[in-house]
Amino acid sequence: MKAGIFFTGTGPILLLTSYETLNDPSFVQKLATKGIKKFIAYEVPEDKVKEKYGQQYNVILGDLKQSDDLRVLDYDGHHVFYNFSVRELGEPIRHEA
Segment 74-79 long-range contacts (CB within 8 Å, at least 24 positions apart) = 74/13, 74/14, 75/13, 75/14, 77/10, 77/11, 77/12, 77/13, 78/11
For 34, half-sphere exposure in the C-beta direction (CA atoms, 13 angstrom radius) is 16
Contact at 8 Å (CB) between 4 and 50? no
Mean pLDDT of 49-69: 79
In the predicted structure, residue 68 carries a pLDDT above the cut 60: no
> Domain residues of the chain, as ranges?
2-96
d(CA 21, CA 59): 22
Q: What is the pLDDT of residue 69?
A: 83
> pLDDT of 75-94, one tens digit each?
999 999 999 999 989 899 99
Q: According to the model, what pLDDT value does residue 65 have?
A: 60
Beta-bridge partner residues of 8: 11
Using 50, 70 and 90 to split pLDDT, how confident is the model at 60?
Answer: confident
- Quick: pLDDT tens for 7-50: 999 999 999 998 999 999 999 999 999 999 999 999 999 999 99
